[in-house]
Amino acid sequence: MTTTWVGVSVPRKEDRRLLTGRGRFVADMSRPRMLHAVFVRSPHPSAAITAITADDAVKAPGVAAVLTSADLGHPYLLATLERDEFVPTRMPVLAGDRVRFAGEPVALVLADDAYRAEDAAELVAVEWAELPPGTPVHDEAPDNCLVDLQMFDDPAVPGIIKSAPVVITARCASARVAALPLEGRACLAEWDDRDEQLVLHVSTQVPHQVRSGVAQALGLPERLIRVIAPDVGGGFGLKCVVGREEVAVAAAAFRLRRPVQWIEDRQENLTASFHGHEQRYAVTAAFAADGELLALDADIECDTGAYSVFPFTCAVEPLMAATELPGIYVVPAYRARGRAIASHKPPTAPYRGVSRPQIVLVMERLMEKAAARLGLDPLDVRRRNMITTFPFTGVNGITYDEGSYRESLDLAEERTSQWRTERAELRAQGLLAGIGLSCFSERTAYGTPTMSQRRMRMTPGYDTALVRMDPTGEVVVTTGTCGHGQGHETTFAQIVAGRLGVDPGQVRLRQGDTDLAAYGWGTWGSRSVVIGGGAAAKAAGVVADQLRGVAAVLLEASPADIELDGGVARVRGDADAGVPVAELARIAHFQAHRLPVDLRYGLQAAASFDPPGTFSNACHVAMVVIDPGTLSVALRRYLVVEDCGVVINPLIVDGQVRGGVTQGMAAALFERLCYDEAGQPLSATLMDYLAPTAAELCDIEVIHLQTPSAHSETGAKGMGEGGMIGGPAAVLNAINDALSSDVDQIPALPWDLL
């Protein structure tokens, strides 16, 4: 049996450097003659710019330049959907004649240190003419609607609703939130004369899309730009779009031929980067007397802020929500309208979960409400409606691959039976205790077959990996995916090591560099293990065949009889006949003449992978205790039964689940970005924006079921967002259980619970 590293909790290779302060983040980098960039930002949510005067700022100590939109030639980012219902709008790199949210960048100050740049930014005089309330965000969309999609429109729906025994209507909402990565956005751009390249070090999840965005905005060929993502301190979707600041910094370095660095501060991160999840749902669901869901009608509004993000566009949330709302339930008749509404707030990016925390919340609230109205057990109502035969093609046209929807619910119910006793005891003591549950699937690894349905001009999906073994038998893997906290250096090494019969310690992942990797789509949408890992597995399989070929020559055996394991190539069934893999590598490189032509010239292979996507699933159960005096909610117990197919590294998967649940419960209980009536941000610091701490958490127990995916090279399904997707609904259902309430929006703040 070949040793497999799949399923082993290999400690994260990256943690030694990260935990000992030896990581390399953009802010750790410095260059001779480097300029520090600070942006002059709009204090107004909606105003015309009538003049910008930088005379005083330019004369300030240490200032090298002040650049405006006009200085840069009015560059912009444009993300487009090829749909008539979509209104394309430009996002200027620096606002030129008009600002559309408070915090929008209007000028770039470059100085020899960041403090001088900050001081000089205050000297830039901008003349504003505030626009009257009600002025459309974009002239192209007088009603502020940037996309209006009637995604599904079964004409039978109104009739079914009219004659159904039970009709449930609900208005669910989720607040605008911040992804809040530990490291904000950051970039350092420098012109490299020797390579004739603009090298851009960016804290990003999508290096190739940053390259495309900069190239398109500045009218440069992509070859002229190299984007490198060094260590990235989290992104959660905020960094899977291209920041206009990144383009501005690139333009400044290109123009001045001096290195330019920009480090976003926390206030900018909260008020001027990308937000997520501000959505409103008006849903009507028809149920039969036995709890069967008969029809669903949904009207979905996503407040997507002032601009369409590059490359996803502002349609990403409404499209996802309207398409995937039915989730794990059989919905026989469906209507869904999804709209992206522009507002005078920062644009939204695809923050972790992308609409799925909201659609799961909607469906799980509907199940609870239907059960309450019909006097049925809410778990039985879920079971009555769950998809149980696979593959299943839903009314939304989505084909769901094999999952364990029913099994995960059954197991969760069994494992939490004691919680019900505990809840009764707590209630007997006069405490407000409640248990809530959410069942859901998480579509992951969206390849081009799926993404093309969105009709983006830039359609993401595939990825390519290159696996190379060097003459000492060590392996380097390059990939277009770009981990930023998920432990890819470890899990990709496990996948590749298993195929090559070597130790994961011998496999080094190189990612986040557009000059190293073929065009790829970065890390988001829980795509990396399936798509990047799948490409790496395929390429490693080819290199393994090459190794078997070389071994077969040396051992005078058939390649089919060669096993690679423990760093040695052996003839199956013959314990004595073996050659170390390192020796095969040496011969393949240094003694090529001894090998047949097709085995000469090194050990390497590239492979691409582009699956249709696969669905993981999970059931979350939360138990809360609510203080009757203050109505503050404390999480007491949390269980996740999750199925992401073959688990490559249980330690990492558990960490991903726990991190996601933390964000999910924070969205349910604390987090919201507030704006006043005029559009001024009120959550500009971490004193106002309540991020969770360890004190707000309880232990999160994780149990794995493993239903392998047929669409994945390794059988793994993605899972990086699941914790966030299931968390809000489970916590909100627990609160409603504790208070016998019917709250449908998150966060559920104490005053909402009165």
Number of residues assigned to the chain: 754
Residue 640 interacting with ligand MCN (CB under 6 A)? no
The distance of closest approach from Cβ of residue 8 to ligand MCN in the complex, given in angstroms and rounded to an integer, is 10
| Pair of tokens at residue 750 | 């104490």
Q: Is there a contact between 37 and 62 (Cβ–Cβ < 8 Å)?
A: no
3 state DSSP class of 397: coil
Residue 440 interacting with ligand MCN (CB under 6 A)? no
Residues 167-206 that bind ligand MCN (CB under 6 A): 181
Site track 342-361 with ligand MCN (rule: CB under 6 A), x = hit = ----------x---------
109 — alpha (psi -120 to 50), left (phi > 0) or beta?
A: beta
The distance of closest approach from Cβ of residue 716 to ligand MCN in the complex, given in angstroms and rounded to an integer, is 3
Q: Which is nearer to ligand MCN, 246 or 368 (CB)?
A: 246
Q: Which of 251, 652, 705, 739 binds ligand MCN (CB under 6 A)?
A: 652
Size of the site for ligand MCN (CB under 6 A): 37
In the 3-class helix/strand/coil scheme, how is 191-243 assigned residue by residue? EECCCCEEEEEECCCCHHHHHHHHHHHHCCCHHHEEEECCCCCCCCCCCCCCC
Residue 653 interacting with ligand MCN (CB under 6 A)? yes
Residue 707 interacting with ligand MCN (CB under 6 A)? no
Residue 488 interacting with ligand MCN (CB under 6 A)? yes
Cα 216 to Cα 97, 220, 520: the distances in Å are 21, 7, 17
The distance of closest approach from Cβ of residue 179 to ligand MCN in the complex, given in angstroms and rounded to an integer, is 8
The distance of closest approach from Cβ of residue 362 to ligand MCN in the complex, given in angstroms and rounded to an integer, is 21
Residue 504 interacting with ligand MCN (CB under 6 A)? no
Q: Is there a contact between 473 and 501 (Cβ–Cβ < 8 Å)?
A: no
Distance of alpha carbon 259 from alpha carbon 252, whole angstroms: 9
Q: Which is nearer to ligand MCN, 432 or 719 (CB)?
A: 719
CB atoms within 10 A of CB 574: 12
| Amino acid present at 232 | V
Q: Which stretch binds ligand MCN (CB under 6 A): 229-237, 420-428, 469-477, 560-568?
A: 229-237
Distance of alpha carbon 79 from alpha carbon 90, whole angstroms: 8
Q: Which stretch binds ligand MCN (CB under 6 A): 147-155, 408-416, 486-494, 584-592?
A: 486-494
Q: Which is nearer to ligand MCN, 12 or 382 (CB)?
A: 12
Residue 273 interacting with ligand MCN (CB under 6 A)? no
Distance of alpha carbon 167 from alpha carbon 323, whole angstroms: 22
Q: Which stretch binds ligand MCN (CB under 6 A): 60-68, 97-105, 264-272, 483-491?
A: 483-491
Distance of alpha carbon 670 from alpha carbon 672, whole angstroms: 7
Residue 526 interacting with ligand MCN (CB under 6 A)? yes
Could you give the residue ranges of the DSSP H alpha helices within 556-605? Answer: 581-590
Distance of alpha carbon 233 from alpha carbon 668, whole angstroms: 24
Q: Which is nearer to ligand MCN, 347 or 378 (CB)?
A: 347
Distance of alpha carbon 524 from alpha carbon 240, whole angstroms: 7
For 408, residues 6+ apart whose C-beta sits below 8 A from its C-beta are 439, 617, 618, 619, 641, 642, 643, 705
Residue 645 interacting with ligand MCN (CB under 6 A)? yes
Site track 443-472 with ligand MCN (rule: CB under 6 A), x = hit = -x----------------------------
Q: Which stretch binds ligand MCN (CB under 6 A): 62-70, 163-171, 252-260, 517-525?
A: 517-525
Distance of alpha carbon 145 from alpha carbon 125, whole angstroms: 33
Residue 659 interacting with ligand MCN (CB under 6 A)? yes
Distance of alpha carbon 393 from alpha carbon 664, whole angstroms: 28
Q: Which of 261, 464, 514, 649 binds ligand MCN (CB under 6 A)?
A: 649
373 — alpha (psi -120 to 50), left (phi > 0) or beta?
A: alpha
Q: Which is nearer to ligand MCN, 105 or 237 (CB)?
A: 237
Residue 234 interacting with ligand MCN (CB under 6 A)? yes
Task: For residue 12, give the DSSP letter.
Answer: P
Residues 404-423 that bind ligand MCN (CB under 6 A): none
Residue 498 interacting with ligand MCN (CB under 6 A)? no
How do strand 700-705 and strand 633-643 relate by DSSP bridges?
Answer: parallel
Among 359, 314, 361, residue whose Cα is nearest residue 339: 314
Q: Which is nearer to ligand MCN, 231 or 744 (CB)?
A: 231
CB-nearest residue to ligand MCN: 485
Distance of alpha carbon 337 from alpha carbon 342, whole angstroms: 16
Residue 529 interacting with ligand MCN (CB under 6 A)? yes
Residue 663 interacting with ligand MCN (CB under 6 A)? no
Q: Is there a contact between 175 and 278 (Cβ–Cβ < 8 Å)?
A: yes
Residue with structure tokens 């399923």? 7
Q: Which is nearer to ligand MCN, 304 or 614 (CB)?
A: 614
Distance of alpha carbon 354 from alpha carbon 307, whole angstroms: 17
Q: Which is nearer to ligand MCN, 456 or 585 (CB)?
A: 456
The distance of closest approach from Cβ of residue 484 to ligand MCN in the complex, given in angstroms and rounded to an integer, is 5
- One-character DSSP codes across 18-72: HHTT----GGG---TT-EEEEEEE-S-SSEEEEEEE-HHHHHSTTEEEEEETTTT
Residue 269 interacting with ligand MCN (CB under 6 A)? no
Q: Which of 357, 394, 487, 728 binds ligand MCN (CB under 6 A)?
A: 487
Q: Which is nearer to ligand MCN, 7 or 566 (CB)?
A: 7
Residue 491 interacting with ligand MCN (CB under 6 A)? yes
Q: Which is nearer to ligand MCN, 529 or 641 (CB)?
A: 529
Q: Which is nearer to ligand MCN, 181 or 501 (CB)?
A: 181
Q: Which is nearer to ligand MCN, 334 or 524 (CB)?
A: 524
Residues 539-568 that bind ligand MCN (CB under 6 A): none
3 state DSSP class of 148: strand
Residue 215 interacting with ligand MCN (CB under 6 A)? no
Q: Which of 75, 96, 485, 726 binds ligand MCN (CB under 6 A)?
A: 485
Cα 531 to Cα 191, 200, 210, 586, 724: the distances in Å are 33, 25, 20, 31, 21
Q: Which is nearer to ligand MCN, 105 or 487 (CB)?
A: 487
Q: Is there a contact between 527 and 483 (Cβ–Cβ < 8 Å)?
A: no
Task: For residue 529, give the DSSP letter.
Answer: I
Site track 714-753 with ligand MCN (rule: CB under 6 A), x = hit = --xxxxxx--------------------------------
Q: Binding residues for ligand MCN, per CB under 6 A? A: 181, 234-237, 352, 444, 483-488, 491, 523-529, 644-649, 652-653, 656, 659, 716-721
